[in-house]
């Protein structure tokens, strides 16, 4: 039975289907590629809380309508609010989103996310923190925030820093797009199921009457394949990635990639260099530090730090790159952002430090995460 769960101009943005012991939650903004609006995030929080407190519910399945699981947060709406003069409206959005990420990361019941299509930014935050993530041949995932003047958020400093080697630094700084096979190989996905088998997988999962992750994993595995990585996959470049992206600074990372390019002609290296040089210099510096700090922090600490960072981004005191990136890529779409500061060498260490400090505003508070008993959260598979 499908129930509507959030109205926006008559269109239900979140749908719920109730099976015996399973709740199927469907993100339903297909024209916007299921980008998360503020009402969607609030409704997801309600549904996850209600399902956790309902002893009849053993498991949640989360999926998206159309060709996207979730293309991220609805940042154009955030930018619109901030431009009207209230950065705190934008901060409210991220506070709610990060609280949802934390709830998923500490959830006491298995969450199975069906990642059949586009999974960007906030879409990773709404899935990777959960227990099971099912990729398909249609999956495309990325955290493209450095190209937008932001940074990999939604707890990415926690889950990207725990990918093999320095693959998280590579994916987070370049915004590299990964397919379903690569998501499985690096651990962002726990299973790979060909999309034609998804209806049968969902039928099997809908009959589940247990929260036992072993039982659920066994069911998903019956429909799973181990896909082959494409020949040009960056996952085949782990030696170069570890050599270059383990460097201490962005400047050293770019320099070491350029040295690699001198030694051998490789389109992948050129593409990585180009992505880094197109990205916001400020974003690159704060993103690298964030992922490095995330290696030593739990998911809650990562989200608290990322909330501080995003509040500094929204205030735009040092750099307004987030607004310029959204203008260039999402609003005017000229794809020609004018970053300020424009070069890495213009950004000092104390400029970066500022993003990690408390906000100097008496009305501002750090992110207050709810007390949770299910700690530590599920580890990402293969880490």
pLDDT at 374: 74
Annotated active-site residue 73? The verdict is yes
pLDDT in tens, 145-195: 999 999 999 999 999 999 999 999 999 999 999 999 999 999 999 999 999
Distance CA 144, CA 122 (A): 11
pLDDT at 84: 87
pLDDT at 3: 53
Query: Of 64, 72, 73, 117, which is the active-site residue?
Result: 73
pLDDT at 203: 97
Distance CA 94, CA 253 (A): 30
Query: Of 97, 153, 179, 306, which is the active-site residue?
Result: 153
Distance CA 9, CA 351 (A): 43
Reduced to 3 states (helix: H, G, I; strand: E, B; else coil), residue 61 is strand
Annotated active-site residue 153? The verdict is yes
Instruction: Name 244's Cβ contacts closer than 8 Å, sequence gap at least 6.
Output: 166, 253, 256, 257, 260
Tokens 């909330």 — which residue?
A: 307
Residues of the chain with pLDDT under 50: 1, 4-10, 377-383
pLDDT at 375: 67
Strands (E), 20-176: 22-27, 59-64, 68-70, 111-115, 118-120, 132-135, 140-142
Query: Of 64, 90, 122, 130, which is the active-site residue?
Result: 122
Annotated active-site residue 306? The verdict is no
pLDDT at 224: 98
Query: Of 145, 202, 260, 324, which is the active-site residue?
Result: 145
């Amino acid at each position: 039975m499908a129930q509507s769960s959030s109205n926006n101009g008559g269109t239900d943005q979140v749908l719920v289907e109730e099976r015996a012991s399973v709740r199927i939650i469907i993100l339903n903004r297909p024209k916007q590629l299921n980008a998360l609006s503020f009402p969607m995030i609030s409704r997801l929080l309600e549904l996850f809380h209600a399902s956790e407190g309902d002893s009849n519910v053993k498991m949640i399945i989360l999926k998206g309508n159309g060709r996207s699981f979730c293309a991220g947060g609805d940042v154009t709406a955030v930018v619109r609010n901030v431009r009207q003069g209230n950065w705190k409206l934008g901060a409210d959005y991220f506070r709610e989103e990060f609280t949802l990420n934390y709830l998923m990361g500490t959830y006491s019941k298995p969450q199975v996310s069906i990642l059949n299509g586009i999974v960007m930014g906030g879409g990773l935050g709404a899935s990777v923190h959960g227990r099971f993530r099912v990729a398909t041949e249609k999956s495309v995932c990325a955290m493209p925030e450095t190209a937008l003047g932001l940074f990999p958020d939604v707890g990415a400093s926690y889950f990207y820093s725990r990918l093999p080697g320095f693959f998280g630094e590579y994916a987070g700084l370049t915004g590299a797009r990964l397919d379903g096979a690569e998501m499985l190989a690096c651990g962002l996905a726990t299973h790979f199921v060909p999309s034609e088998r998804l209806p049968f997988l969902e039928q099997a999962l809908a009959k589940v009457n247990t929260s036992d992750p072993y039982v659920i994993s066994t069911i998903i595995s019956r429909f799973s394949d181990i896909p082959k990585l494409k020949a040009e996959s960056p996952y085949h470049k782990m030696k170069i990635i570890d050599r270059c992206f383990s460097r201490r600074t962005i400047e050293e990372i770019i320099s070491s990639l350029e040295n690699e390019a001198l030694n051998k002609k490789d389109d992948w290296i050129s593409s990585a260099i180009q992505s880094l040089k197109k990205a916001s210099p400020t974003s690159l510096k704060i993103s690298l530090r964030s992922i490095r700090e995330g290696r030593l922090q739990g998911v809650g600490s990562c989200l608290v730090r990322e909330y501080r960072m995003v509040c500094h981004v929204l205030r735009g005191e040092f750099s307004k790159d987030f607004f310029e990136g959204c203008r260039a890529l999402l609003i005017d779409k000229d794809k020609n952002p004018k970053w300020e500061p424009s070069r890495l060498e213009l950004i000092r260490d104390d400029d970066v430090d500022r993003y990690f400090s408390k906000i100097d505003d008496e009305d501002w508070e750090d992110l207050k995460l709810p007390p949770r008993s299910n700690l530590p959260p599920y580890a990402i598979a293969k880490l």
